[in-house]
Structure 1
Amino acid sequence: MSAGLLRRWLLRRFAVPREAHAATPADYGLVAIEVGLPARDGRRLHGWFVPPAGGTPAPAVLVMHGWGANASLMLPLARPLHDAGHAVLLIDARGHGASENIDFMSLPRFAEDVAAGLDWLGGRHDVDRARLSLVGHSVGAAAVLLEASRRDHLNAVIALSAFAHPRDMMRRHLSAMGLPWYPLGALVTAWVQRLIGARFDDIAPLTTLPRARCPVLLAHGLHDNTVPFAEAERLAASRPGTALIRVDAGHDLSEAMPQARGAFERFLNASASVPET
């Protein structure tokens, strides 16, 4: 297969399945502002910003969805975060939800959109830029960990259903397609890394989580068939002190929020009082 054909096959095979929003903040009793913020490449990112209910400036949480999802699927998290005193920004990554399209998405590009959201929050008068936290699901979890590894001043990170290494995800994906790892899988993986402009070893949560300069909480479903629970255990072991919550759920943790709500609130509140190192 020629380089051009392989590139076109990869772009087609890993194209983002765009889904419309299934709900709005109002469905969860939240008063939100619909916002448009610039991505690093100038494209428009759609988001919902839920201003703080109490005094300002207030701590804020940026919430990032996973691959093929959108901000509406993360709304079950918004209410408990807001009730706990945080402003909340939920954004659609490029090529997702109501954000502008892009030729292809990747973990590094998800992280770029997280960075754009943090920059936007840092410019608001009602947000305390010294108390910004991140929450992400699946690829979004890997993205918030990647961005956290690059920032000196974050309050905390909550990673939901995070995978340990992109290569493991690629192996599972190609196996489901019936493609052998050697030689085809290894070739495709090499080309994906070339396409996204990053080595898997450099952007893997196993690499980025230990580099994060803030407290990290992992939450993972015991019945996750997309990312096995064992990967969460590997991640937790990669940095001593990383908390891990076991949730009676699959890959989608939205229905399990009542189980984890209290733990999330306690973690974020405790992290706000942890001195920077």
Structure 2
Amino acid sequence: MGYFVTVEPGVRIYVEDLNPGGSKTILFIHGWPLSHKQFEYQFDVLPALGYRCIGIDWRGFGESDKPVSGYNYDRLADDVRAVVGALRLDNFTLAGHSTGGAIAIRYMARYNGWGVSKLVLIDAAAPTGFTTETANKLIAETLNDRPKMLQGVTDMFFFQYITERFSDWFFQMGLQAAGWSTAAIAASLRDEKLYQDLDKIFVPTLIIHGIHDKVIPFAQAQEVNKKIRYSQLVPFQYSGHGPFWEERDKFNQLLTQFIG
């Protein structure tokens, strides 16, 4: 079922809550510039296996409200904390993809991992995100021809072949976001670093990363693995930036094995 959680006056975050009675909970945080719908191929499978799967849309993206401000990692982590509090979540797995991985890391550091028993980082934008050159290019394209920018992101996202229809679906997901929020997050990916946050993570952490990732290089996953004390890195040999789809069966199996 879907509903909204108010995280501050005038700002509501959309929540998709599947199998609320599940024995174990996974909170998914999507990547830029997408929405919770990117995890469709997890939501198809995991609830039927007994997991409660919660997908949230960041402010400015998907079905959430789209204020003109609040697009730094601290505020986005605060939004996650508000959802966790509203849903009274505890002993849950936090799974973040790309920028969602960066938000998950900031949440762990800022709130001492409140309620989180295990962490999953999927091609996380950490410890850094975009280079200045890449971010500035994406910001300029977003503010002048956002559809062109989104098509370029879609084209470089995957290592495996995607159909034209799948590309269209992925592209439309990005268009759900506001232009201002899309540009603001690209700026955060350029300006914010997570080196100090990584030392504050003390829960078992699974790092999944496609070795062919053109968005966040695999070397960054290796760096994160060295910085997080209780982490394991699993390379996905046939994935780019989207192992949750490109190797979805392996991804889902690994996730359930890790959570138990």
Regarding TM over 0.5, the answer is yes
Within 5 A, what are the aligned runs for 1:57-136? 58-104=23-69, 105-122=71-88, 129-136=89-96
> Secondary structure at the residue paired with 1:227?
coil
In the TM superposition, residue 59 of structure 1 has moved relative to its aligned partner by 2.5
- Equivalent-residue separation in structure 2 for 1:172 and 1:258 (angstroms): 35
Q: Which runs of 5+ in 1 are unaligned?
A: 1-32, 123-128, 180-191, 270-277
- Equivalent-residue separation in structure 2 for 1:108 and 1:157 (angstroms): 18
1:180-230: CA deviation from partner (whole Å, max 9, x where unpaired): xxxxxxxxxxxx9xx97xx834xx1x3223312311111001100010000
1:129-148: CA deviation from partner (whole Å, max 9, x where unpaired): 43212111111011111112
Bigger Rg, structure 1 or 2? 1
Name the counterpart of 1:219: 208
1:98–1:245 Cα change, 3 Å = same
> Secondary structure at the residue paired with 1:99?
coil
- Equivalent-residue separation in structure 2 for 1:114 and 1:152 (angstroms): 11
1:260–1:91 Cα change, 3 Å = same
Question: Which one of the candidate residues 217, 226, 239 is aligned to 1:237?
Answer: 226
RMSD over equivalenced CA pairs, Å: 2.6
TM-score (norm 2): 0.71
Question: Which one of the candidate residues 92, 97, 100 is aligned to 1:140?
Answer: 100
Q: Higher relative CO (CA 8 A, sep ≥ 6), structure 1 or 2?
A: 2
- Retained in 1: the 8 A contact 2:101–2:126? no
Give the fraction of aligned pairs with identical amino acids, expressed as a percent: 22
- Retained in 2: the 8 A contact 1:153–1:213? no
Question: Which one of the candidate residues 109, 122, 126 is aligned to 1:164?
Answer: 126
Name the counterpart of 1:252: 242
TM-score (norm 1): 0.67
1:108–1:121 Cα change, 3 Å = same
In the TM superposition, residue 176 of structure 1 has moved relative to its aligned partner by 5.2
